[in-house]
Amino acid sequence: MKKEKGSKETTTGKRHHSKKKKEENNAKHWAREWLDALVWAAIAAIILRTFFFGAYRIPTPSMEKTLMTGDFLIVTKLAYGPRTPMTLSVPFTDIYMPGVNLPWFRIPGYSEIKRDDIVVFNYPIDVAPVSVKTNYIKRAVGIPGDRLRIENKRLYVNGEESERFETLMYNYRVNVRDRIRLSPTKVREAGGSIVQSGTGSHIINMTPEVANEIAGWAEIESVEKFTLPEDYDLFSRRGFNFSRGFNNHDHMDEFQVPYSGMEIELTADNWHLYQDILERYERRSVQRNGDVFMIDGEETNRYTIQKDYYFMMGDNRDDSEDSRFWGFVPDDHVIGKAGIIYFSWDGENWMPRFNRILNLIH
């Protein structure tokens, strides 16, 4: 009997061990399946993010009212052509290996940048490899070869006033009637924002439509665009190379947006337009003494532009640091075209803006 009992216990033990081993194998198999699924999902996400689409959030009001602070966007990289990786970096982070620049190229897209497209790009004057520079979003108001000028806030492209959009915002001077207080709440509810207040006069940031509405209020005496005087010095304190030749963003003499193959003659007067192009974007060694230039060790004031460039401006024209300040955007800095708002969060009221979700971007 004792022998039979021992045999029975041994058989039970083996069955228990076999069951436990089977459970462990099933657990390992389950874990491997999940790990494989996660790895493939990560690879798919990296491919989609690198070559197809990107998700971006609007952090500032520089594109209002076209894009609002708190809008979350899908940007298509297929439009202008995705770039192959430029650096060795950790996926989904800003961590990259310094000093390692990969040979890259742009896969052809299905479209070229058209004038007034809303474009996501890398901030040109950041000191970092191109693909890890800060992401910016602006409207491409000037494409390669365009001639631009700004007179009293009005943008002219190739001699004609640029297309106006209902969502463009400007600063307006609003004068109120004697001894009447202008309500900030009323202004905000109308869609404006008071930038500066004085005795009987206010600077309000708003669209032309809101300006027309406010002009009809009983307490308002007059509403007009607030334009800086031509000699008002706004740029010199900012330290940008491009804007050294201008006083402020409300008045800019005509200049041409550079394009690949464009031949220029460098002078002391136009060096501010091209300094970043030669030294920063096209990596030329330049020494200058007045109107005398040494480019890559050769004395010459002639140069042929190697890349296409774009001129970008925010739709909130008086609250946007853009190409009017820091200059042109090289074509290799272009990331993609803004496509759709997939979510929008109103940070002031702590609630979603449901009326903006799934809106196409124009």
Mean per-residue pLDDT of the chain: 89
* Number of Cβ atoms within 10 Å of the Cβ of 336: 25
Buried/exposed 23-50: b ≥16 CB within 10 Å, e otherwise:
eeeeeeeeeeeeeeeeeeeeeeeeeeeb
Pairing of the two strands 53-57 and 292-295: unpaired
- Name which residue leads in pLDDT, 3 or 228: 228
d(C-alpha 50, C-alpha 113), whole Å: 19
Q: For residue 34, what pLDDT is reported?
A: 75
Rounded percentage of the chain residues whose pLDDT exceeds 70: 88
Identify any residues that bridge with 183 across adjacent strands, giving them in sequence order.
none
For residue 22, name the pLDDT band (cuts at 50, 70, 90): low
The amino acid at 187? V
**pLDDT tens-digit map of 134-164:** 999 999 999 999 999 999 999 999 999 997 8
Rounded percentage of the chain residues whose pLDDT exceeds 90: 71
d(C-alpha 165, C-alpha 63), whole Å: 12
Q: Which residues contact 11 (CB under 8 A, 6 or more apart)?
A: none
For residue 1, name the pLDDT band (cuts at 50, 70, 90): very low
Lowest mean pLDDT among 22-26, 97-101, 165-169, 282-286: 22-26
Handedness of CA 228, 216, 164, 66 (dihedral sign): positive
Counting other chains too, the contacts that 142-145 makes at CB distance below 8 Å and 24 or more residues apart are: 142/115, 142/257, 142/310, 142/311, 142/323, 143/113, 143/114, 143/115, 143/257, 143/310, 144/257, 144/258, 144/259, 144/260, 144/308, 144/309, 144/310, 145/256, 145/257, 145/259, 145/262
If you average pLDDT over residues 296-324, what whole number do you get? 96
If you average pLDDT over residues 91-99, what whole number do you get? 75
| Whether residue 115 has pLDDT greater than 70 | yes
